[in-house]
Structure 1
Amino acid sequence: MGRLAVAAAVAAWAIPIAALVDSIVPDPYMDEIFHVPQAQHYCRGDFLTWDPMITTPPGLYYISLAYLASLFPGAWAIKVAEAFDPLCTTALLRSTNVIMAMVCGVLVHDLLLCIKPGIGKTKATAYAILVALYPVHWFFTFLYYTDVASLASVLAMYLSCLKKRFWVSALFGALSILFRQTNVIWMIFFAANGAIAYVQDLSLSDCLSDENSEPTDKSRTEVSDRDSKVSALGLRRRRTNHPIRKRGVVSGSTKSHTSFTEELFDIGFKIWNSKCKVLITFAPFAIVLVAFGAFIIWNGGIVLGAKEAHVVSPHFAQLLYFGLVSATALLPWHFTPGRVSDLFHWCRKNKTFSSLAMLIALGLSFVAVHLFSIAHPYLLADNRHYTFYIWRKAIQARWMMKYILIPLYVYSWFSVINILVFPDLTGKSQPRVWVVSFVFSVALVLVPAPLVEFRYYTIPLVILVLNSPVIGNGKLLALGSAYAAVDLFTLAMFLFRPFHWGHEPGTQRFMW
């Protein structure tokens, strides 16, 4: 019932708003001027023509063809070039993402039930609707971009890995790379944490087997039938309540570690002991990774087209922007008096460590902002993005402004990491290996990108939502209302602001 409620809720606003957008903006807009004609080439059966300005693989166009074939199955029986070409209108192609947005909502619902079994279907439904309302994701539901389908494929990969369907997960991983190349990082992230959970489960099974196979002398002579039943019930309870059973991919170790080094050593030892099983079980991910490496060698880089505008750059400031954007987007988790108080008390309890960590973070952030803050030409020249105004009116408003923001960047990252790691503050925790690998994955995805785009932050932000503590209904409702208000404001600016209808450079319609 929860899945149906999520899909119905997303459809209830997505379908009428998509119709409104198509009626007012019927022609391809911004990057749609590349994606729509390319999809129309595929509709005509022309799979050899490729627009050199398109940077991503053709996954979105294949999905659109499959979608059109499901809508008009009779057309598939005729010649594709003749039957499908008239159907590939901008409006119909855009509706691909409306379907993908509904799929995303259902996947978020199922992921929450898998990661947090005690959350309940009602809460999972509310969270899924919240993610569907997240402004950046919501806006691109109505345009023919790769973002919504990319998120859907990554979430499907995550869910399959949690359920230990590794072949299926690897297939979704390959599909996600066809939408956006950087999704290979998330495939590696899920596979690595899946391997950790797998060896933890193997270790637990071995321990339980040893316990069952070594009865004491007393148990041989004194245990009655009633005692045996109680013992069996206790064993089942231990299996059910063990954190590994509850966590799936993000599982902890079977023992408490006093340091990150011990945690790494324990994981490495278990993986080495089960290396053959791990290699066989996770071979599908290795196959996809090898194929991706072959593609990079053949292509001469990770980007398909417009390589001069997407040169790999040491853009370390991207990591800082992501921290602040994520903390702001998840405001009830991070920017509340209670959260500030919790962090303050943690710093007081760990004065030496927290002071040293704070100084290092501030120093590295200053270096990143001063030396590795990149203003891409697209960012400076196009006023159709929020980032254009944020850069001009905030970050570059005064020469000191970008340095004044550094404490906010540091606070945001401290809050994000703290809320994931320390159960004494939040009641929930992630293994430190999971948190470190997540931060490293975010860095690998964002740092090489020279262009500041909020769209690039959506996947890691959704992963954060899925693995953050559950918040109360009041905060959830307040955040959902704030998202809806931003959504409506963005839609109004996009559709109805008069001067954005101009055709001169720099006077185009407004968007993310």
Structure 2
Amino acid sequence: MGRLVVAAAVAAWAIPIAAWVDSVVPDPYMDEIFHVPQAQRYCRGDLLTWDPMITTPPGLYYISLAYVAALFPGAWATKVADALEPLCTPALLRSTNVIMAVVCGVLVHDLLLCIKPGISKAKATVYAILVALYPVHWFFTFLYYTDVASLAAVLAMYLYCLKKRFWVSAMFGVISILFRQTNAIWMLFFAANGAITYVQDLCHSDYVSHENNGLTDKSITEVSDLANKATAPGLRRRRKDRSITMKRVVSGSTKLHTSFTEEISDISFGLWNSKCKVLITFTPFVIVLVVFVAFIIWNGGIVLGAKEAHVVSPHFAQLLYFGLVSSAALLPWHFTPRRVSDLFRLCRKNKTFSLLAMLMALGLSFVAVHFFSIAHPYLLADNRHYTFYIWRKVIQAHWMMKYILIPFYVYSWFSVINILGKSQTRVWVLSFIFSVALVLVPAPLVEFRYYTIPLVILILNSPVIDNGKLLALGSVYAAADLFTLAMFLFRPFRWEHEPGTQRFMW
């Protein structure tokens, strides 16, 4: 029932708004000027011509082609190239993402029930609708971009990995990479943590089997007890220690580990002892990774086109931007008086460590902002993005502003790490941070669309909040959505072209 409610709620606003957007903005908009003609080439049956300005693989065009063919099976059955081309209008191509937005909502609902078994279906439904309203995701539901379909594929990959259907998960991993190459990082993240969970389950099975054998075989137990009492106190102690270690590995909870190194050692021990089983079980992910690396070597880089505008860069400030944007987008989790007081109270428990961590974080953030903050030409040229105004009106308002924001970056990341640590292991949190860095740091362009997937993963793995906070955040999202829609529909842009420049003006 929850799935139907989510699908109906998302479709109820997505379909009429999509129709309205198509009536007001019927022509390709922003990067649609590249994506729509490329999809229309595929509709003509021309699968070999490629626009050199497109950086992502053709996954979106394949999905759209299948979608149009499913809507008009008669056209597909007759003459594909001639019959499908007139049907691939911008409006119909955009509707691909409306369908994908509904799928995303349903996947978020199912993921929450899988990740948080104690959550009610009603709460999972509210969460799924909240994610559908997230402004960046919501806006690109109505345009022909890769983001919504990419998110749907990543969420499907995550869900099937949690369900231990690894071949299906790897298949969705391939599909997600066909939408956006950086999704290979999320495939590795899910597979790595899936392998850890798999090993913990194996240890749990062995432990339970050992305990059951000890309880059922009474005669052996009695003999063992007599022998232990007589001659082997050291053996009893070793068995007790082994039992504690097994419980640690089984649990997967940081609360049973006294240190991070202990957690690492337990996981490494489990992975090494079960290495053959792990390699066999996770073979599909290994195959996808090998093929992806071969593609990068053959292609000479990770992007397909416009390579000169998407050169891999050490953009470490990007990681700081994500921390602040994601914590601001999840305001009830991170920016409340109670949350601030909780963090300060936590720091006071271990003043020395907290002070050193804070000084190190501030120092590294200063280095990232001062030496590794990049202003991409696309960021400065196109005023149809919020990042254009944030960069000019906030970060560049004064030379000190980018340094004033450093404490907010540090606080945001401390809060994110602390929140995730309440429901996930230290290794999971560290691997998540590392994955976010691999996705964002090489990207020279500051673009909020790149933050959507890790932000949704944050929502899925953060502690559940009460209905009042959810309602308040949903109201903020809805207001931001309406504002963005009004700016988009009622303040049209005009194209101004000067030699050597491409600028959009009000």
TM-score by length of structure 1 reads: 0.91
1:344 matched residue in structure 2: 344
1:432 matched residue in structure 2: 426
Once the two structures are TM-superposed, the CA of residue 408 in structure 1 deviates from its matched residue by: 0.2
Structure 2 counterpart SS, 1:214 = helix
Structure 2 counterpart SS, 1:117 = coil
8 Å CA contact 1:378–1:451 kept in 2: the answer is yes
8 Å CA contact 1:253–1:263 kept in 2: the answer is no
Q: Which amino acid aligns with 2:476?
A: A
CA distance in 2, matches of 1:404, 1:220: 67
CA distance in 1, matches of 2:93, 2:281: 38
8 Å CA contact 1:324–1:412 kept in 2: the answer is yes
Say whether 1:473 aligns with 2:470: no
Q: Which amino acid aligns with 1:263?
A: E
Pair 1:254–1:348, CA change in 2 (3 A): closer
Pair 1:339–1:219, CA change in 2 (3 A): farther
**Which deviations, in whole Å up to 9, do the C-alpha atoms of 1:442-477 show, x marking residues without a partner?**
000000000000000000000000000000100000
CA distance in 2, matches of 1:322, 1:27: 32
CA distance in 2, matches of 1:254, 1:415: 17
Matching of residues 67-466 of structure 1 within 5 Å: 67-215=67-215, 217=218, 252=252, 256-421=256-421, 428-466=422-460
Structure 1 counterpart SS, 2:118 = helix
CA distance in 2, matches of 1:212, 1:8: 48
CA distance in 2, matches of 1:431, 1:178: 31
Q: Which amino acid aligns with 2:330?
A: L
**Which deviations, in whole Å up to 9, do the C-alpha atoms of 1:296-346 show, x marking residues without a partner?**
011010010000000000000000000000000000000000100100100
CA distance in 2, matches of 1:243, 1:23: 59
8 Å CA contact 1:115–1:466 kept in 2: the answer is yes
Once the two structures are TM-superposed, the CA of residue 218 in structure 1 deviates from its matched residue by: 7.5
CA distance in 2, matches of 1:463, 1:314: 24
Q: Which amino acid aligns with 1:506?
A: R
Once the two structures are TM-superposed, the CA of residue 48 in structure 1 deviates from its matched residue by: 0.5
CA distance in 2, matches of 1:507, 1:164: 48
Pair 1:218–1:447, CA change in 2 (3 A): same
2:49 matched residue in structure 1: 49
8 Å CA contact 1:59–1:178 kept in 2: the answer is yes
CA distance in 2, matches of 1:493, 1:431: 42
CA distance in 1, matches of 2:420, 2:350: 17
Q: Which amino acid aligns with 1:28?
A: P
Q: Which residue, out of 479, 485, 488, partners 1:485?
A: 479
Q: Which amino acid aligns with 1:119?
A: I
Q: Which amino acid aligns with 1:486?
A: A
8 Å CA contact 2:254–2:425 kept in 1: the answer is no
CA distance in 1, matches of 2:504, 2:59: 32
Say whether 1:495 aligns with 2:489: yes
CA distance in 2, matches of 1:137, 1:448: 22
Structure 1 segments unaligned to the other structure (5+ residues): 222-241, 246-250, 422-427
Once the two structures are TM-superposed, the CA of residue 429 in structure 1 deviates from its matched residue by: 2.3
Once the two structures are TM-superposed, the CA of residue 214 in structure 1 deviates from its matched residue by: 2.2
1:230 matched residue in structure 2: none
8 Å CA contact 1:387–1:453 kept in 2: the answer is yes
| Root mean square deviation, CA, Å | 1.7
8 Å CA contact 2:214–2:221 kept in 1: the answer is no
Q: Which amino acid aligns with 2:155?
A: L
Aligned identity (percent) is: 83
- State how many pairs are aligned: 477
Once the two structures are TM-superposed, the CA of residue 501 in structure 1 deviates from its matched residue by: 4.2
CA distance in 2, matches of 1:78, 1:358: 67
Structure 1 counterpart SS, 2:503 = coil
Once the two structures are TM-superposed, the CA of residue 220 in structure 1 deviates from its matched residue by: 7.8
Once the two structures are TM-superposed, the CA of residue 502 in structure 1 deviates from its matched residue by: 5.6
Once the two structures are TM-superposed, the CA of residue 490 in structure 1 deviates from its matched residue by: 0.4
8 Å CA contact 1:60–1:179 kept in 2: the answer is yes
Say whether 1:506 aligns with 2:503: yes
Once the two structures are TM-superposed, the CA of residue 507 in structure 1 deviates from its matched residue by: 3.7
Structure 2 segments unaligned to the other structure (5+ residues): 223-246
CA distance in 2, matches of 1:502, 1:46: 30
Once the two structures are TM-superposed, the CA of residue 3 in structure 1 deviates from its matched residue by: 0.4
Pair 1:9–1:36, CA change in 2 (3 A): same
Pair 1:261–1:26, CA change in 2 (3 A): same
CA distance in 2, matches of 1:204, 1:81: 56
2:30 matched residue in structure 1: 30
Structure 1 counterpart SS, 2:252 = coil
CA distance in 1, matches of 2:179, 2:495: 32
Once the two structures are TM-superposed, the CA of residue 118 in structure 1 deviates from its matched residue by: 1.0
Q: Which amino acid aligns with 1:105?
A: G
**Which deviations, in whole Å up to 9, do the C-alpha atoms of 1:157-188 show, x marking residues without a partner?**
00000000000000000100000000000000
**Once superposed, which parts of structure 1, at least 4 consecutive aligned residues long, lie more than 3 Å away?**
215-221, 242-245, 501-509
Pair 1:138–1:218, CA change in 2 (3 A): same
Q: Which amino acid aligns with 1:87?
A: L
Once the two structures are TM-superposed, the CA of residue 257 in structure 1 deviates from its matched residue by: 1.3
CA distance in 2, matches of 1:243, 1:27: 59
8 Å CA contact 2:158–2:169 kept in 1: the answer is yes
8 Å CA contact 1:109–1:125 kept in 2: the answer is yes
Structure 2 counterpart SS, 1:493 = helix
Once the two structures are TM-superposed, the CA of residue 419 in structure 1 deviates from its matched residue by: 1.0
Pair 1:219–1:262, CA change in 2 (3 A): same
TM-score by length of structure 2 reads: 0.92
8 Å CA contact 1:204–1:254 kept in 2: the answer is no
8 Å CA contact 1:59–1:179 kept in 2: the answer is yes
CA distance in 2, matches of 1:254, 1:140: 38
Structure 2 counterpart SS, 1:506 = strand
CA distance in 2, matches of 1:338, 1:389: 31
CA distance in 1, matches of 2:495, 2:476: 30
CA distance in 1, matches of 2:457, 2:188: 14
Pair 1:396–1:36, CA change in 2 (3 A): same
CA distance in 2, matches of 1:254, 1:380: 44
8 Å CA contact 2:495–2:504 kept in 1: the answer is yes
8 Å CA contact 2:248–2:256 kept in 1: the answer is no
Structure 1 counterpart SS, 2:399 = coil
Q: Which amino acid aligns with 1:448?
A: P
